[in-house]
Structure 1
Amino acid sequence: MSIADGEIQIDGGEHSTQTTLQDTLTLLPPHRDAKGWCDPVGSKSTYTALYFDPVLIGEALEQYRGAEIEPVLYGRDPALVGTMKKISDVARSGGDQLYADQLCILAAIEALGLRSILKPIKGGLSAKQLACAKDFLHEHQARPISLAELAAHVGLSRHHLTRAFTTSTGKPPFRYLAELRVERAIGLLVNSDQSIAAVAKACGFGDDGNMRRVMQQLLGVGPRQVRQTR
């Protein structure tokens, strides 16, 4: 996004007349406003707006409570840009809910500058908690599963579950679920005559496009190539 001319100021804070805004971040904490004007360039410009609900963020990231969030005006953060592009891709493709939830938590950590205040979670899940999480993912893999639902089932916050599950298994919950679904899809593609679309739906991918994308990521081949191995 670029503008020919303009200026903006956050109440009681930074002021900018920057005109090249591509891949920049502006963060407004609660009760802070930004005012300004701009003369847009003729070409089409787009932007993505995220709203961080303090209640939901507080539930997902215990360490957020009480943290002082400073305003940011046209900051640059390559890690956040990468995360936002992934969120955009998932939103367009209708990808997995569990993956989308974890990306949103990651975006919150990056956008709110919480990397430095997040305390590492030592150790993983207990054997009982891990079995509870895995059993839930196995049992419900054929339908959309949200991170909030999985965390509530195990009895942990979303952030704690994600980090402890990853410590215990070496992979985040969405990756574990994706591998479960791919394993089941391979069995159906090889051993049944169901259409690829039907297999995708039966395995929780939603549609064959999502199944093809995940298989390409994990296996390097798509469902048609898997079926040809029969």
Structure 2
Amino acid sequence: MMSARLPLVIDYVDWLKFLPNPPLLTSFQSGWSSIQLVHSCQPLVDLPEVSNPQHMIVIPMGHQAVDLELVFEGRKQVVSYREEDYASGCIELCPADLSYGLRSHSTVKTMEWIHCYLEPTFLAQIAPESVNPDHVELLPTLKTVDLLIHQIGLALKSSLEVDGVGSRFYADSMATALSAHLLRHYSTRKHQFREHEDGLSKQKLKQAIDYIQAHLGEDLSLSEIAHELGMSQYYFCRLFKRSTGMSPHQYLIQQRVERAKQLLKYPEQTITFVAMECGFANQSHFAKCFRQCTGMNPKQFRNS
């Protein structure tokens, strides 16, 4: 039964304590800051009424027929998922501090989903040039087709599985794109982002490139570069891509690979050393990025 008491306020880590199975994957140990991800497969759920300090985006997965009984601020609603719904890119959105409860009914014994938890302060501050941080409020949304959010969730999951601790910069980039989309389409008031026909000025572009080059070997974050240029993450990403034809993340990986190609010319330096020196999380992350950029792995390149 749903509790009649005041909702419990739980963080994304505490949320897992209500579930019988451990998660299949989380971002908790990967250095992500603006967004967190949980991939979980659970038996039928009976969750008391709770609220989260983060905005929660739910991406149902699998193919099981599931009926969900949700309580949003005391109002009961039933949402049904069938096999075709999973393929269509359905998502759900529970804004921060909104109380909700959940009970699942199903003929099968498990349900699978991705949860993305987005910090409200990050959402409100991605583009202060266009968005008043004091007037950001999201709308609760149940079972809505949104292919962009669905793809962002799957891309974050894939990046976390492959790159682990090397995925922070990518997570920042995806969180920025996700936040802008939420503000455009799921906010209680319409936020208009200023469009810029030109990219970064020559001076700003040089400043950004110099900063990236100087910190290639570090665990660089998107927010650090944007702060260095004195602009928001959203506009930095937009203008940088307009100037270079690449996202900041793509450029960062490309430049790390270019530096690695130079270091690989010295046979006394191990491939593991080169990976660490160029800012890759580990040797497998290095090999994957190197192959994507060059068509060969580091060892093949060294021997070519």
TM-score computed with the length of structure 2 as normaliser: 0.67
- The structure whose residues are more often strand, as a share, is 2
Percent sequence identity over aligned pairs: 25
Q: Is the 8 A contact 1:16 1:73 kept in 2?
A: no
Counterpart of 1:79 in structure 2 is 148
Match in the other structure for 2:138:
69
The range that moved more, 174-183 or 88-97, is 88-97
- Superposed, which structure 2 residues align to 1:1-230 within 5 Å? 1=61, 2-11=64-73, 15-20=77-82, 22=86, 23-40=89-106, 42-62=108-128, 63-65=130-132, 66=135, 69-92=138-161, 93-94=163-164, 95-114=166-185, 117-229=192-304
Specify every segment of 5 or more residues in structure 2 that has no aligned partner in the other structure, as ranges.
1-60
Residue 200 to residue 43, structure 1, CA distance change in 2 (3 Å):
farther
Greater CA drift, 64-73 or 144-153: 64-73
Root-mean-square deviation (Å):
2.6
Question: 63-72 or 132-141, which moves further after superposition?
Answer: 63-72
Judge which range, 85-94 or 167-176, deviates more.
85-94
Residues 7 and 17 of structure 1 are in contact (CA less than 8 Å); yes or no, is this contact kept in structure 2?
yes
The number of residues matched between the two structures is: 229
Q: Could you tell me the TM-score, scaled by structure 1's length? A: 0.86
How far did residue 141 of structure 1 move?
0.3
How big is the shift at 1:31?
A: 4.4
What do residues 129-155 of structure 1 show as CA deviations (whole Å, max 9, x unaligned)?
A: 111111111111011100111111111
Give the conservation status (yes or no) of the 8 Å contact 2:126–2:179: no
SS at the partner of 1:125?
Answer: coil
The 8 Å contact of residues 66 and 111 in structure 2, kept in 1 or not, is answered as no
Letter in 2 for 1:84: G
The question of whether the paired residues in 2 share the 8 Å contact of 1:4 and 1:41 is answered with yes
C-alpha offsets along residues 17-65 of structure 1, whole Å, 9 cap, x if unaligned? 3133635311123443333421255454332222322222122133443
Distance 1:129 1:78 in 2: 33
Query: What is the aligned partner in structure 1 of residue 34 from structure 2?
Result: none
